[in-house]
Amino acid sequence: MTTTTRPIPAVARLWLWLLGIVLLAAGLFFAIGGVRLLMLGGSWYFVVAGLVLILSAIQIIRARPVGVWLYLLAFGGTVAWALFEVGADYWGLISRLLAMGFGAAVVLATLPLLNRAAGRPARPVLPLFGALVLLVAGLAGFGSMFRIHPEVVAAAPAAEAVAVTPETEQTDWAHYGNGVANDRFAALDQINTGNVGQLEVAWTFRTGDVPVSTGSGAEDQMTPLQVGDKLFVCTPSNNVIALDVDSGEQIWRRDVDASVGGVWERCRGLAYFDATAPIQQPSVPGSTQVPPVALAEDAACQRRIIMNSIDARLFAIDADSGEFCADFGDGGQVDLKDGVGEVDNIAYYTLTSAPTIAGTTIVVGGRVADNVQVDMPGGVIRGFDVMTGAMRWAFDPGSETPNRELQPGETYSRSSANVWAGTTYDPASNTVFLPMGSPSVDLYGVTRTEMDHLYGASMLAVDATTGVLKWHYQTVRNDLWDFDLPMAPTLIDFPTEGGARVPALVFATKAGQIFVLDRQTGEPLTEVEDRPVLPANIPDEPYAATQPVSVGMPQIGADTLVEADMWGATPFDQLICRIGFKSMRYEGLFTAPDTDMSLSYPGSLGGMNWGGVSVDPNNDLLFVNDMRLGLWVQMMPQESGAALSDGGEAPNAGMGQVPLGGTPYSVIKDRFLSPLGIPCQKPPYGTLTAIDLKDRQVAWQVPVGTVRDTGPLGMKMRLPIPVGLPTLGGTLATQGGLIFFAGTQDYYLRAWDAATGQEVWKSRLPVGSQGGPMSYKSPNTGRQYVVISAGGARQSPDRGDYIIAYALPDEG
């Protein structure tokens, strides 16, 4: 029996040609890219699928029904390959199957037309029904993208409600991280899981200081302080404002208008000191005493706000009046550039994190700009008298005698490791803990000294009265990845397996590691494993043979990537990401940079950053937010006369060759993104994680942030797809069983149930936020407030100057 082809309308013929050409282009893309991937040792799928799609396209253009069956064969093979490669991983299946599934629906719906063209009965019922099923499945898959898909689902409630009592209730938020423990925990429960849905804006204040978005410029990353009836805020230009806690009305304002030319300008927080309050002396045997302070009862500045500015000054401001404290330094300020030597660019030595009041000593570090040149200001850490501003001590991490007093004309060591993040004070032992960064420059260790290798990427414990080192613990040896310690540690009473509790500190790193150290000795309280790592080939580089990995605590976003982890909104950009991944040298977490192109993941932008962690001490829960954003890195011979970096963030964003002054190299770095501007590895790109400190396991982990206010090629998608985006800023835990966080790429303040990780409330912000939420109870009205600053999200052009307070409806 033979069949006779039938002529079909021109419109139908045009459709077959159009469909065939689309499939042919897709098949060619798959086949050509697949051959390239296969040559790099990658998956064979794209070559095979591409060839079948090409055959399908040719047959459809020829109006042959076999073209449909060839496409369905490719689709069926794709389903089998996807399940084999990623199993039940949600985002992995979406990337591989969604586009091909919609294609299968369209192609199958075309079968009756092809049957008719081939002279056969059209028989449309089964093909159209099958196409409808595929279409519904595709729409269901697309719709499922709007639901949150936890990485780890809570097996049981991770927290139990513990009621606040008058004895345990928080009175003030008087330190950057709330209490001296820096735990970002509010012992308040007026706002709780049962009523958080009723939260509403109580007041909004505009500071008038909008951070300029330049890529290397100003950002709002502030957490306010609250003492009594005043809320204290600072702006990216280091202007300080006191607000009424209930109305948000301005009480006083002290403008400093600091600037370093638009590079890295921000004020993350302030410090507070009350000279009328009793001084807490240490209880740990052998600790030094806290020096007393002397101030007349009728003197001004009994209560003072301490601020270090972006242009390296230290200020004392009367908390009651807003006036500078005349008895502090020179008219209320101290020049922190004294002793650091030559600063070629004012943006090379800046203060970006809040100072710490350690007893009666102000402790400050300083940010030394990354990847500029070898000869930079040093990372000296100093302690100043809180009343007079006189320097009590200095710890010079580049010197073998770090506490030595400078002689006239001398400066502190150049280019040493520095403390750009915050610090934490333990009153029980009169100790301040210092998270150290890397010596300049980050990617080249040949010029580093013995002291640089000793203190780089380490946690230091220093006597707060004398500045004498007690102990140090190193988390990265000869850091070539900018895996410095980015946050002030949090003090906890760590539960041991025997039921005892050990005074400890916990902190997280850019490398996705979480360390728990004994507060008195610096020894790890959870297992840390020394793992061998591979060197690269930079001449004379003193590569470390091993690196410490904190295996006794969960590692967040630090998995070793494989090709199957590459992702894309479509199979096409996934293929490009696979080729990019296989084209780079990648040996896991500590892949050393070299003159070839290598991948660093989670990268210097990734892991956990300056926002720190929060803790629920009643339930022994640790909350961390992270970003997962790999960087590709390549060292290049340095071009003669090339301009140095301005010290901003642009070297991490593909600005071309950035000279590393004083070395033979320039560096090229950029985010590992698909052609659509999406991170190449699978989602999520940012999560919120609860860790049970009792068993050291992840209790729950959820993606945070949607693509509503961002998207491919920098366009706002306007779709609330909770893919989880890179996060900045810190979390707030409350005794009401809630976790608040706003540092996402979309414009929301959110709350999660601490027991389950379920999102229970969110409020739209006028712009994004990188600030840390805080909470207090008004001494006047008894209302609990949650406050957030919103000045703009990272990578967003939208900027603002908002301080927003939320509260339950005022029943009075």
Q: What is the pLDDT of residues 48-94, one digit of tens each?
A: 999 999 999 999 999 999 999 999 999 999 999 999 999 999 999 99
Helix (H) or strand (E) holding 712: none
User: Does residue 297 carry a pLDDT above 50?
Assistant: yes
Q: Is 714's pLDDT higher than 80? A: no
Mean pLDDT of 545-569: 96
Q: Three-class SS of residue 382?
A: strand
pLDDT digits (tens, 9 = 90+) for 725-769: 999 999 999 999 999 999 999 999 999 999 999 999 999 999 999
Within a domain: 66: yes
Confidence of residue 396 (pLDDT cuts 50, 70, 90): very high
What residue ranges in 87-135 does DSSP mark as E strands? none
Please tell me the least confidently modeled range out of 207-211, 273-277, 563-567, 652-656.
652-656
664 residue type, one letter: P
The verdict on residue 94 lying in a domain is: yes
Average pLDDT across the chain, whole number:
94
Task: Name the DSSP letter for residue 559.
Answer: P
What ranges make up the beta strands (E) of 438-500? Answer: 458-463, 469-474, 490-495
Tell me if 602 is assigned to some domain: no
Strands 250-254 and 240-244 come out as antiparallel
What is the predicted pLDDT for the residue at 289? 98
Does residue 576 belong to any structural domain of this protein? Answer: no
Q: What does the alpha-carbon distance between residue 271 and residue 424 come to, in Å, rounded to a whole number?
A: 12
Q: Residue 365 domain-assigned? A: no
Q: How confident is the model at residue 652 (pLDDT cuts 50, 70, 90)?
A: low
3-state class (DSSP) for residue 578: helix
* Count of structural domains within the chain: 1
Residue 649: predicted pLDDT: 66
Classify strands 546-549 and 621-625 as parallel, antiparallel or unpaired: unpaired
Mean pLDDT of all residues in 494-503: 92
- Angstrom distance (rounded) from CA 418 to CA 338: 16
Largest CA distance in the chain: 113
The average pLDDT across 574-601 equals 97
User: Does residue 2 surpass a pLDDT of 60?
Assistant: no
CA distance 684 to 703: 6
Predicted confidence (pLDDT) per residue in 171-181, tens digit: 999 999 999 99
The pLDDT, as a whole number, for residue 215 is 65
At residue 347, the 3 state secondary structure works out as helix
Reference 171, options 778, 788, 794; nearest CA is 778
Residue 19 located in a structural domain? yes
Percent of the chain at pLDDT exceeding 70: 98
CB count in 10 Å sphere of residue 437: 28
* 655 pLDDT more than 70: no
Q: Which of 318, 482, 565, 692 is catalytic?
A: 482
Residue 654: pLDDT band with limits 50, 70, 90: low
Whether the per-residue pLDDT at 467 is higher than 50: the answer is yes
Q: Is residue 42 part of a domain?
A: yes
pLDDT at residue 704 tops 90: yes
Q: Are 482 and 436 in contact (CB under 8 A)?
A: no
pTM: 0.96
Q: Is the pLDDT of residue 111 over 70?
A: yes
Q: What pLDDT band is residue 796 in, cutting at 50, 70 and 90?
A: confident
Question: With 50 as the cut, is the pLDDT of residue 395 above it?
Answer: yes
Mean pLDDT of 321-337: 97
> Catalytic site residue 482?
yes
433, 505 contact by CB (below 8 A): yes
pLDDT score for 645? 80
Q: Are 354 and 269 in contact (CB under 8 A)?
A: yes
Torsion of CA 31, 36, 42, 44, to 10 degrees: 20
Rounded to an integer, what distance in angstroms lies between the CA atom of residue 544 and that of residue 534? 9
Per residue in 189-198, pLDDT (tens digit) is: 999 999 999 9
Neighbour tally for 220: CB within 10 Å: 32
Model pLDDT, residue 499: 85
Question: In this structure, is residue 31 part of a structural domain?
Answer: yes
Q: Pick the more confident residue, 795 or 490.
A: 490
- Token code pair at residue 608: 């956990």
Contact (CB, 8 A) for 359 and 431: no
Cα angle, residue 18 at apex, residues 13 and 69 outer, rounded to 5°: 85
Does residue 3 have a pLDDT over 60?
no
Q: How many helices (H) and strands (E) does the chain have?
A: 8, 40
Nearest to 539 by CA among 450, 448, 444, 657: 444
* 623-641 pLDDT per residue, tens: 999 999 999 999 999 887 7
Give the residue numbers spanning the domain of 39. Answer: 10-144
- pLDDT exceeds 70 at position 812: no
